[in-house]
Amino acid sequence: MSGGQPLRIILAKVGLDGHDRGIKVVARALRDAGFEVIYIGLRQTPEMVVEAALQEDARLIGVSLHSGAHMTLLPAVMDELRRKGAEDIVVFGGGIIPAADIAELKSDGVAELFTPGTPLTDIIAWVRENVEAVPT
Amino acid sequence: MKDHQDRGETRADGLLASTMSGEPIKDLYTAADIQEFDPDMPGEYPYTRGIHRSGYRGRLWTMRQFAGFGSAEQTNARYKYLLANGQDGLSVAFDMPTLMGQDSDNPTSRGEIGHCGVAVDSLADMETLFEGIPLDQVTTSMTINSPAAILLAMYLVVAEKQGVSWDRVGGTLQNDILKEFIAQKEFIFPPEPSMRLVVDTIEFCAREVPRWNTVSVSGYHIREAGATAVQELAFTLADGFAYVDAAIARGMDVDEFAPRLSFFFDAHIDFFEEIAKFRAARRIWARHMRERYGARDERSWKLRFHTQTAGVSLTAQQPELNIARTAVEAMAAVLGGTQSLHTNAMDEVLALPTDRSARIALRTQQMIATETGAANTVDPLGGSYFMESLTRQMEDGAEAYFRQIEEIGGVIPAIEEGFFQQEIADASFRYQAELEQKKRVVVGVNDYTGGNDEDQLEILRISNEVEAAQVERVRRLRASRDAAAASKALEQLRRAARSAEANLMPSLIECARAYCTEGEMMGAMVDAFGLYTEKAII
């Protein structure tokens, strides 16, 4: 791990839905895998998520939503990061997101999207390979 | 029977031999397993075998598909389509802003309007939603919780405008705020004022809307959030008892309101466990209502329930398999004696269902009702060594949880302490770990994945025009209504909310009549009640 510090990850539910089963399972799995996970909870706006990531000096933001608002709220997170000059923070997401939307979100800068049925080991491996290995 | 296999044992193929909830089960049940078995008859206390003597021969379950998306006009058209295809009752899905009590033009509603249900901001939308549907000829279930009293008020005003008197209006309000704190998380006010609003609707309907089911005490969301079958059973019934306690504390007699409490359970994929859960639920409710609460009216003893097949069991991989899963789950609900049923569409794991997938889901129920013979014999598994034993096991598990909840001080203290939330988080993590270790299989997800790369289904997309039009609609409404009447009604609501004595339903109905928006009514109540935030537990 870079600099001996565990990699810090902000996890959040953005939007209005309260389906937090998935993000809690992911939070626990990432924590058990040795990352420092801060789950900031439900109904976070894009602004609140980016603010939390800056405050906590997080390298990664993971957001979950199941309400169908991903094409509005994920781009809003990316816009807010650009506005704050914090494009180095890596954003990933999870939820019920159709394939066509995934391509569009990735072209907007979202690094990865995990859909239902993804093994936790894949998510952990992705964080290790794509973020932890890259020096800040 | 020590010679048979027990908890934690694995089968020859390496899979766990327990139920999907982790309940230990044996490989063989015999007469020795039901020595204390006390056979009861369908239609008789404690109703293990069903609340009707004639089962489904007398009357089939109600096929009630949950639907709602986009604008009120679009959803109204879907309702007419479903009714024309043989559906019996309506079930309204609201969008997230409506569920969270906020108007479409609230900034945090962006991106959410019409996506997972229909947008309703005011009486005007409710009138459109039920246009051409006489409210004395259908029953309507409304899935709404924190703002439930507001949507009920709007519905009653629509009936009034159709010339249908309230004593002829039938339907169900979900109105189960406790499970919001426990699992679904669509809370707004703190628990105490939230409970006050629930009791207000119970009290008001007992007097004015006698055919209305005031609370649909819901295990569905608890289960979907990751609970086991026993947890779903125990937490749901504990919530039900908490509503009974609260209404009695208001001064009502138990038989005045208990017959109008109904339940809503999940039908998951572990077939026998689910049937046992439904049977146990009826028995536990009957016993507690009669013995603990002293209810004398038999209707207070009878647990009536709606079932939805498990959304969480559906897979995005090879989604056509979901038709088979849903059929198995629906069969469990029928063998468990459900009063009404929603079958999920195969594409609900991807988006809201298309007309085609919604029709296939409804047809699945119609097949069970007409082709399979399942409706011909009441409680066909009654007396089975395995079924009776598993029913008892479910019941014992639930009673153990009731004792734990009581030790904590009741449902609300247990919510505040995070007890339910932790139990559910632990269960859901344990299940996920078992999947990852391949101790359990979900076809298409962690085994039998051939075919996963086939083309995806066509899915329903909600256009952004719905959002812009709905925002415009609510703004136009605020500008065009009688402003003095609206602000007078809101002021009255604000005053009533601050007084501990008032029942808020009459004030909410006045607000609905004056075309106050949902967000305005919630705002008036937030002023008095405040907002709740939870401590997230992982």
Full 3-state SS string of B329-367 = HHHHHHHCCCCEEECCCCCCCCCCCCHHHHHHHHHHHHH
d(CA B535, CA B498): 27
d(CA B445, CA A73): 28
Average pLDDT over residues B132-138: 94
User: Is pLDDT at B487 greater than 50 in this prediction?
Assistant: yes
The gap from C-alpha A24 to its chain's centroid, in whole angstroms, comes to 13
Instruction: Pick A16's closest partner by Cβ from B97, B180, B462.
Output: B97
- Find out whether B206 and B299 touch, Cβ atoms under 8 Å: no
Q: Out of A127-136, B283-292, B295-304, pick the least confident.
A: A127-136
Average pLDDT over residues B390-403: 98
Confidence at B8, pLDDT banded by 50, 70, 90: low
Interface with B, mutate which of A21, A49, A66, A105 (most B CBs under 10 A): A21
Mean pLDDT for chain B overall: 94
Confidence at B4, pLDDT banded by 50, 70, 90: very low
Q: Among residues B528, B491, B510, which one has the least CA distance to residue B192?
A: B528
Instruction: Pick A39's closest partner by Cβ from B111, B224, B538.
Output: B538
DSSP B521: H
SS3 state of residue A20: coil
Confidence at A135, pLDDT banded by 50, 70, 90: low
Residues of B in contact with A17 (CB under 8 A): 96, 116
Q: Out of A43-52, A81-90, B2-11, B528-537, pick the least confident.
A: B2-11
Q: What is the pLDDT of residue A78?
A: 97
What ipTM does this complex have? 0.88
A6 vs B121, more confident:
B121
Q: Which amino acid is at B335?
A: L
d(CA B113, CA B104): 7
Q: What is the pLDDT of residue A3?
A: 52
Q: Out of A17-21, A53-57, B291-295, B301-305, pick the least confident.
A: A17-21
Residues of A in contact with B111 (CB under 8 A): 15, 68-73, 76
d(CA B1, CA B418): 37
pTM: 0.94
φ, ψ (nearest 5 deg) of residue B215: -135, 135
Q: Among residues B210, B204, B207, B402, which one has the least CA distance to residue B299?
A: B210
Q: Which residue of A has its CA nearest to B107?
A: A45
Confidence at B536, pLDDT banded by 50, 70, 90: confident
d(CA B76, CA B158): 14
Question: Strands, E, within B242-321: which ranges?
Answer: 261-267, 305-309
Q: Among residues A59, A58, A48, which one has the least CA distance to residue A14?
A: A48
- Find out whether B529 and B193 touch, Cβ atoms under 8 Å: yes
User: Is pLDDT at B172 greater than 90 in this prediction?
Assistant: yes
- Burial zone of B536 (CB within 10 Å; 0-12 exposed, 13-18 middle, 19+ buried): buried
Q: Out of A92-101, B6-15, B423-432, pick the least confident.
A: B6-15
**Does the distance separating the beta carbons of B96 and A17 come in below 8 Å?**
yes
Interface with B, mutate which of A9, A10, A20, A30 (most B CBs under 10 A): A20
d(CA B533, CA B188): 8
B462 interfaces chain A, CB cutoff of 8 Å: yes
B225 interfaces chain A, CB cutoff of 8 Å: yes
Confidence at A2, pLDDT banded by 50, 70, 90: very low
Closest CA–CA distance from residue A48 to any residue of chain B (Å)? 12
A121 interfaces chain B, CB cutoff of 8 Å: yes
User: Is pLDDT at A5 greater than 90 in this prediction?
Assistant: no
Here the tokens at position B409 are 């001080």
- Tell me the sheet residues that pair with A13: A64
Mean pLDDT for chain A overall: 92
Q: Which residue of B has its CA nearest to A118?
A: B445
- Find out whether A24 and A74 touch, Cβ atoms under 8 Å: no
Residues of B in contact with A18 (CB under 8 A): 180, 184-186
Neighbours of A33 (CB within 10 A): 17
d(CA B109, CA B525): 19
Size of interface A-B (CB pairs under 8 A): 105
Residues of B in contact with A113 (CB under 8 A): none
Pairing of strands B66-67, B90-93: parallel
- Burial zone of B12 (CB within 10 Å; 0-12 exposed, 13-18 middle, 19+ buried): exposed
Closest CA–CA distance from residue B435 to any residue of chain A (Å)? 9
User: Is pLDDT at B463 greater than 50 in this prediction?
Assistant: yes
Instruction: Pick A18's closest partner by Cβ from B186, B445, B459.
Output: B186
d(CA B169, CA B525): 26
**Does the distance separating the beta carbons of A21 and B429 come in below 8 Å?**
no
Confidence at B7, pLDDT banded by 50, 70, 90: very low
d(CA B158, CA B163): 9
d(CA B507, CA B489): 7
Q: Mark which residues 336-395 of B lie under 8 Å from A by CB.
A: 349-352
Q: Which residue of B has its CA nearest to A19?
A: B184
- Find out whether A13 and A48 touch, Cβ atoms under 8 Å: no
Confidence at B48, pLDDT banded by 50, 70, 90: very high
pLDDT above 70 covers a percentage of chain A that reads 95
d(CA A78, CA A72): 10
Q: Among residues B81, B59, B61, B58, which one has the least CA distance to residue B69?
A: B81
B445 interfaces chain A, CB cutoff of 8 Å: yes
Which string of b and e fits B15-26 if b means at least 16 CB within 10 Å? ebbbbbbbbebb
Q: At what angle do helices B271-287 and B229-249 cross, to 10 degrees?
A: 20
Average pLDDT over residues B189-195: 97
Q: Among residues B364, B270, B357, B368, which one has the least CA distance to residue B313?
A: B270
